């Protein structure tokens, strides 16, 4: 009942977040149930590997739920202050947010289960029979256990990501860090260098004589272990380098004797590099991997399997939505700063220009980081 | 359009009515601000001081009534016109510093000058000078997050004064400060106003602080609660140096 009453106050943004969570949960539930159906129809098959393939989309849903929960206090401060005034402590607010996310996921998963049960009645013909385990009795606990996984993961990550200190009214999270420590720079740079040299070693002329022992899933061929480990290292390093790259981009924008436009855009980007960097790195990694895989499929076979394609779409959508939500989060947490700038007589055109400059700089970083990751991935899939 | 304001009033409001989403804040206020004076607007919390300051400083559009600045109507200006007026003619200190967190103290103070089109060198030199005057010269290269509240508020005062706007609005500028700092910041604000012939409109809930002003207007529940009572010049503690 409480959730229904809370839902009555939803605005378009809340509704979008709720619907996206439910849709993504429904898709993950479909993957889980397909794995179950396959396991029922072919008991001797590779059912564990199929379940393992449900993990990336599950992680994507969890990541989206976490980013969305983190943005909530800044987006709807009045809701948090209202709940606090009504006597809810940080823990109960956290539980409430987690419950909201879990409810959306449970609804999405429930709809998928309904569709699964309908399909098991042989409405779709023989084509879907092995996917839904047609003709094999369904143990009741199996779908329930599998479907509980999505609400639990999403709710848990939302609860873990919910900012406890910000839940109290009057606390504002202002960026105060201007740079990155030596470790934050040395670790990713080292990872990228080690990864690059490993991958170059794996791709050296004559490396094919050692064979390509590692078989990649989803029809992606085979590769050598040096190349794969090298790519993993380099991709991780590049992802960790995204936030420092954003900060440097901001410094570059405000270099020399900046105009107010460059000053506001550059310093703002440097200040928000940490918050914007993480979702941007995840998006760059997801896009790079997916685009390289699509290119490989198109080159080799000319066809793309449906399940990996849906999975890739889901992951990219969740990562992109997380970047958008984080951008909205930054915007709403800077509401007071924007109001102060407007009071100084800053023209909205200038503020818009600064936002456009920041977006362009972030896009460039996305291109650089994602492009490098994709190029290295293409080397692995050669 | 009705009669033009008296000549010696730099800012003039007549019968302004303003409500916030249905909640009445001002219910017909007429007030004139003379050129170069320090006008205090007093009243308890919720009496409409901030709203009146917002309407006078062209931040909020009025629902009814007229606001004139230098014999030009403000209430008919478009949003862009009001922005330009605020940028070029008005300075504003709020009860919270509201500095831009990612800019250093000097950049914060130089920002309005840069926005108004001043050169980089001149803006930064002026900013450093004002920071020194407000006793926060040692914070020049630091960001607001590293400073304590009273230092931040001094920087906000420097930001409002640096472009030397003809009118400075101060909305309870001493609210976040301790008593000793309150007096000092207010003295600096008023001395700066007097020495540069700026007009200062000061809203405060503390009647004690109104003693610094040339004239006091009291507000209660969105109305003027007392006729404008002129205080003879010379009785105000900081007007002696004028």
Q: Which residue does chain B place closest to A174, by CA atoms?
A: B101
8 Å CB contact of B100 and A259: no
The answer, for A175 touching chain B at a CB cutoff of 8 Å, is: yes
Q: What are phi and psi of A214, to 5 degrees?
A: -95, 120
Q: Confirm whether B38 is domain-assigned.
A: yes
Nearest-CA neighbor of A175 among A14, A321, A336? A336
Contacts of A175 (CB under 8 A, 6+ apart): A271, A272, A274, A275, B101, B102, B145
> Residue B111's domain spans which residues?
9-230
Interface of B with A (CB under 8 A): 59, 80, 83-88, 90, 92, 94, 98-103, 107, 111-112, 114-115, 120, 143-146, 159
8 Å CB contact of A343 and B143: no
Contacts of A257 in chain B (CB under 8 A): 120
Which pLDDT does position B235 carry in this prediction? 47
A87 has pLDDT over 70: yes
Poorest-confidence range of A124-138, A231-245, A354-368, B22-36? A124-138
The answer, for A257 touching chain B at a CB cutoff of 8 Å, is: yes
8 Å CB contact of B83 and A346: yes
Contacts of A229 (CB under 8 A, 6+ apart): A195, A198
Contacts of B168 in chain A (CB under 8 A): none
Structure tokens at B116: 């108004």
Contacts of B88 in chain A (CB under 8 A): 345
Helices A225-253, A348-380: inter-axial angle, 10-degree rounding: 160
8 Å CB contact of B102 and A267: yes
More confident residue, B237 or B222: B222
The answer, for A8 touching chain B at a CB cutoff of 8 Å, is: no
pLDDT digits over B71-130, tens only? Answer: 888 889 888 888 888 888 898 888 888 888 889 999 999 999 998 888 889 999 999 999
Q: Which residue does chain B place closest to A265, by CA atoms?
A: B102
Count of pairs with CB atoms under 8 A, one residue in A, one in B: 68
First to last CA, chain B: 37
Q: How far is CA A369 from CA A191, A234, B46, in A?
A: 14, 10, 52
Contacts of A379 (CB under 8 A, 6+ apart): A199, A203, A227, A231
Strands (E), chain A: 214-215, 222-223
Nearest to A260 among B59, B101, B114 (CB): B114
Q: Confirm whether B76 is domain-assigned.
A: yes
8 Å CB contact of A345 and B100: no
8 Å CB contact of B102 and A344: no
8 Å CB contact of B101 and A339: no
Domain total of chain B? 1
Poorest-confidence range of A88-92, A238-242, A269-273, B26-30? A88-92
How distant is the Cα of B179 from the closest Cα of chain A, in angstroms? 23
The answer, for A267 touching chain B at a CB cutoff of 8 Å, is: yes
The answer, for A343 touching chain B at a CB cutoff of 8 Å, is: yes
How distant is the Cα of B232 from the closest Cα of chain A, in angstroms? 33
CATH number of the domain that B110 lies in? Answer: 3.40.50.300
Which pLDDT does position A286 carry in this prediction? 93
Which pLDDT does position A352 carry in this prediction? 93
Highest averaged pLDDT of the listed ranges A77-81, A85-89, A353-357, B205-209: A353-357
How distant is the Cα of A303 from the closest Cα of chain B, in angstroms? 50
ipTM entry: 0.79
Q: Confirm whether B155 is domain-assigned.
A: yes
8 Å CB contact of A345 and B99: no
Cite the DSSP H helix spans in B103-217.
Answer: 105-115, 120-133, 149-161, 179-195
Q: Confirm whether B138 is domain-assigned.
A: yes
Percentage of chain B surpassing pLDDT 70?
90
d(CA B140, CA A222): 59
Mean pLDDT over A301-323 rounds to 85
Q: Confirm whether B217 is domain-assigned.
A: yes
Nearest to A271 among B92, B101, B107 (CB): B101
Q: Which residue does chain B place closest to A250, by CA atoms?
A: B102
pLDDT digits over B38-73, tens only? Answer: 999 998 888 888 899 999 998 888 898 899 998 888
Nearest-CA neighbor of A370 among A292, A270, A317? A292
Q: Confirm whether B30 is domain-assigned.
A: yes
8 Å CB contact of B107 and A263: yes
pLDDT digits over A14-59, tens only? Answer: 888 889 999 999 999 998 988 888 888 877 767 777 888 888 899 9
Mean pLDDT over B223-240 rounds to 54
Q: Which residue does chain B place closest to A267, by CA atoms?
A: B102
A209 has pLDDT over 70: no
Cβ–Cβ < 8 Å for B36, B60: no
The answer, for A349 touching chain B at a CB cutoff of 8 Å, is: no
The answer, for A259 touching chain B at a CB cutoff of 8 Å, is: yes
Strands (E), chain B: 9-20, 23-34, 38-42, 64-69, 72-73, 90-93, 167-171, 199-204, 215-220, 223-224, 229-230
Q: Confirm whether B238 is domain-assigned.
A: no
Which pLDDT does position B7 carry in this prediction? 62
Q: Confirm whether B3 is domain-assigned.
A: no
d(CA B54, CA B169): 9
Q: Which residue does chain A place closest to B82, by CA atoms?
A: A345
Cβ–Cβ < 8 Å for B143, A176: yes
Which pLDDT does position A219 carry in this prediction? 66
Nearest to B115 among A270, A336, A345 (CB): A345
Question: pLDDT band for position A322 (50/70/90)?
Answer: very high
Dihedral of the alpha carbons of A52, A56, A58, A62, in degrees to the nearest 10: 140
Q: Give the number of other Cβ atoms within 10 Å of residue A110's Cβ.
A: 16
d(CA B218, CA B207): 9
């Amino acid at each position: 009942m409480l959730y229904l009453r809370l839902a009555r106050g939803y605005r378009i943004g809340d509704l979008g977040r709720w619907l996206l969570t439910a849709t993504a949960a429904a898709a993950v539930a479909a993957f889980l149930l397909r794995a179950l159906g396959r396991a029922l129809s072919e008991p001797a098959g590779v059912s564990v590997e199929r379940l393992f393939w449900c993990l990336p989309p599950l992680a994507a849903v969890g990541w989206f739920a976490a980013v969305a929960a983190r943005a909530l206090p800044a987006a709807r401060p009045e809701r948090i202050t209202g709940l606090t005034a009504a006597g809810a402590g940080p823990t109960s607010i956290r539980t409430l947010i987690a419950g909201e996310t879990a409810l959306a996921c449970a609804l999405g998963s429930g709809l998928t289960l309904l569709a699964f049960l309908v399909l098991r009645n042989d409405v779709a013909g023989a084509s879907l029979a092995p996917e839904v385990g047609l003709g094999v009795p369904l143990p009741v606990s199996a779908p329930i256990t599998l479907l509980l996984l999505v609400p639990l993961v999403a709710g848990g990550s939302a609860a873990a990501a919910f900012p406890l200190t910000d839940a109290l009214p009057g606390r504002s999270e202002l960026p105060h860090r201007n740079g990155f420590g030596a470790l934050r720079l040395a670790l990713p740079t080292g990872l990228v260098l080690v990864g690059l040299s490993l991958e170059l070693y794996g791709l050296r002329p004559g490396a094919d004589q050692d064979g390509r022992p590692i078989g990649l899933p989803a029809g992606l061929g085979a590769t050598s272990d040096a190349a794969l480990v090298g790519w993993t290292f380099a991709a991780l390093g590049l992802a960790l380098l995204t936030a420092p790259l954003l900060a440097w981009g901001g410094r570059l924008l405000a270099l020399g004797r900046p105009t107010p436009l460059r000053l506001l855009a550059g310093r703002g980007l440097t200040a928000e590099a940490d918050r914007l960097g993480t979702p941007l790195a995840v998006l760059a990694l997801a896009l790079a991997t997916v685009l390289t895989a699509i290119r490989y499929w198109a080159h080799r076979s000319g066809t793309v399997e449906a399940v990996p394609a849906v999975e890739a779409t889901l992951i990219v959508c969740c990562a992109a939505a997380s970047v958008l939500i984080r951008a909205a989060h930054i915007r709403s947490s800077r509401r007071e700063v924007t109001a102060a700038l407007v009071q100084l007589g800053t023209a909205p055109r200038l503020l818009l220009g600064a936002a456009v400059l920041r977006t362009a700089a972030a896009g460039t970083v996305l291109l650089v980081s994602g492009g490098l990751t994709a190029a290295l991935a293409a080397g692995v899939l050669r | 359009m009705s009669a033009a304001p008296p000549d010696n009033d730099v800012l003039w409001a007549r019968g302004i009515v303003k409500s916030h989403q249905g909640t009445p804040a001002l219910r017909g206020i007429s007030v004139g601000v003379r050129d170069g004076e320090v006008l205090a607007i007093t009243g308890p919390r919720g009496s409409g001081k901030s709203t009146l300051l917002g309407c006078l400083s062209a931040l909020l559009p009025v629902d009814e009534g007229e606001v004139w600045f230098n014999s030009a109507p403000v209430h008919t200006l478009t949003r862009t016109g009001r922005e330009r007026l605020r940028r070029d003619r008005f300075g504003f200190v709020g009860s919270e510093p509201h500095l831009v967190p990612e800019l250093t103290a000097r950049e914060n103070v130089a920002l309005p000058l840069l926005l108004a089109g001043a050169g980089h060198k001149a803006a930064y030199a002026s900013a450093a000078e004002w920071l020194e005057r407000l006793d926060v010269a040692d914070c020049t290269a630091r960001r607001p997050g590293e400073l304590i509240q009273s230092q931040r508020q001094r920087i906000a005062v420097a930001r409002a004064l640096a472009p030397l706007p003809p009118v400075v609005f101060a909305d309870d500028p001493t609210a976040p400060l301790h008593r000793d700092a309150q007096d000092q910041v207010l003295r600096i604000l008023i001395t700066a106003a007097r020495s540069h012939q700026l007009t200062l409109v000061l809203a405060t809930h503390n009647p004690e602080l109104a003693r610094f002003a040339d004239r006091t207007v009291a507000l209660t529940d969105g109305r003027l609660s007392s006729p404008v009572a002129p205080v003879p010049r010379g009785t105000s503690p900081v007007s002696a140096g004028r």
